[in-house]
Every structure is written in structure tokens, then in C-alpha cells.
Amino acid sequence: MPVTTNTGGNSFLERVYNVSDPEELKHLYDEWADTYDSGVLDPTQDYVAPTFVAQAVVASYGNIENAKILDAGCGTGLSGLPLHKAGARNIDGVDLSEGMLKVARKLGIYTDLATADLSKPIEKPDGSYDIVVCVGTLTHGHVGPRPALEEMARITKKGGVMVSTILDDIWEEQGFAAEVVRLKSEGLVEVVSNESKDYRPGAKVTAKILVLRKK
């Protein structure tokens, strides 16, 4: 399926959006790791999704100082920084790319960092976390709705929250909307909010900031 989301001229983003093999994706991110932050924070992208997600976490959960948080698809740690700034002190991170994790380790904000493929079951016990965030990972060429959304719900404690970003142009097309309906109908989650935001305003890309609460 052709990717129509504007990449803002970022060649790495163009490549990772069009990958179908996890090993190739991992190698691309390993290659991109050292320049990732400067690339996505450039005015042509203006990647502000991590800030929106942290705001949604605080709004839906409250004080996060003692919350156990998983940053699923943490990359270089851009998504963890605003959580840490908001008071979080117990953040774990997982990502497909060891190269990205190497950059994240330098921040000193994560309790534990490990590699994981989020297109497969997450190797964490049920109810491990108060909060799970997934920023920029449920997207083209990366991770689809199943089993990821249900797995995030599984490892979240009852009453905990999951906050994810999902591009508006794949929300229905790639089955995310239908999967949220299924999880809700099966009594696993409730939808707290699902608002479209300027995810990468430099490239005029919008995304859902999806907030689910574990039932």
C-alpha cells in the first residue's frame, strides 16, 4: 500500500515508512540513531508528539512521580524526556533498535532499556505498568494494531492508562479504529479521549492522541 503521509523531505523517514521486514527496519534505525533527534526536531518536521503524549498522560492519570511507565518504542528517548520533566522517575523503555537504545541510555532517565519487537507479544507479565506510552511506533512499516494494542492493555494495571499516537491517515485504513472498537466491546478498555493533533506540524501531518484506560 503506497505511503501518502508527508515525510517533509526526510530520506530516513521515507525509507522506514516503506519497510516491510523488521530486520531491515532495525538496521535502518541503527544507521539513523545518531542523527535521529536533529532530523525530526528540524523545522521541516517539528516533531511535537512526545510533548502532547506527556500532557495526555498527566491529564488522564494525575501525578506520575511514583507511576511505573513503559515507553514502548522509545527510540532515542525523545518520548521519555517530557515524561521525566513532568515528574516520572520510573520509566522503562523498549525498542527494536539497539542503536537507538544506545542514544537513550545517555539521557539517564530510564530505569531499564531493552530490545523488543512490538509487532509480537511483549515479554512482560500481565499488569506490569501503571502507564504505557507508544509514540511514533504505530505507523507505516512499523507496528500494526494487532497484537500491539491488546498487548499494551495486557501489561497495564487495571485503572492504568495507555497513550499512543496513530497517524490520522492510517487510523481507519490500517485497522486501528476497528481494533479499539473490539477492545472496548470486549470490556478490556475504555476510551478516555481520541483527539487529532498537529503531530509533525512542520510537515503538516496530524495524528490521533489515543488515550485508553484499562478496565
Using the predicted structure, report yes or no on whether residue 12 has a pLDDT greater than 70.
Answer: yes
Residue range 11-214, CATH number: 3.40.50.150
Q: CA angle, corner 215, sides to 210 and 182, nearest 5? A: 60
Q: Which helix (H) or strand (E) holds 214?
A: strand 205-214
Those residues whose C-beta lies under 8 Å from the C-beta of residue 127, and which sit 6 or more positions away, are 155, 156, 157, 158
Look at residue 149 in the predicted model and tell me its pLDDT.
Answer: 99
C-alpha cell recorded at residue 140: 507505516
Q: What is the dihedral of CA 83, 86, 90, 92, to 10 degrees?
A: 0
**Residue-wise pLDDT tens digits, 86-121:** 999 999 999 999 999 999 999 999 999 999 999 999
The residue that leads in pLDDT, 38 or 132, is 132
pTM here? 0.94
Predicted local confidence at residue 8, as pLDDT: 72
DSSP secondary structure, 50-76, as one string? HHHHHHHHHHHH---TT--EEEET-TT
196 within 8 A of 37, measured Cβ to Cβ: no
Query: What is the spatial distance between Cα 181 and Cα 201, in angstroms, rounded to a whole number?
Result: 28
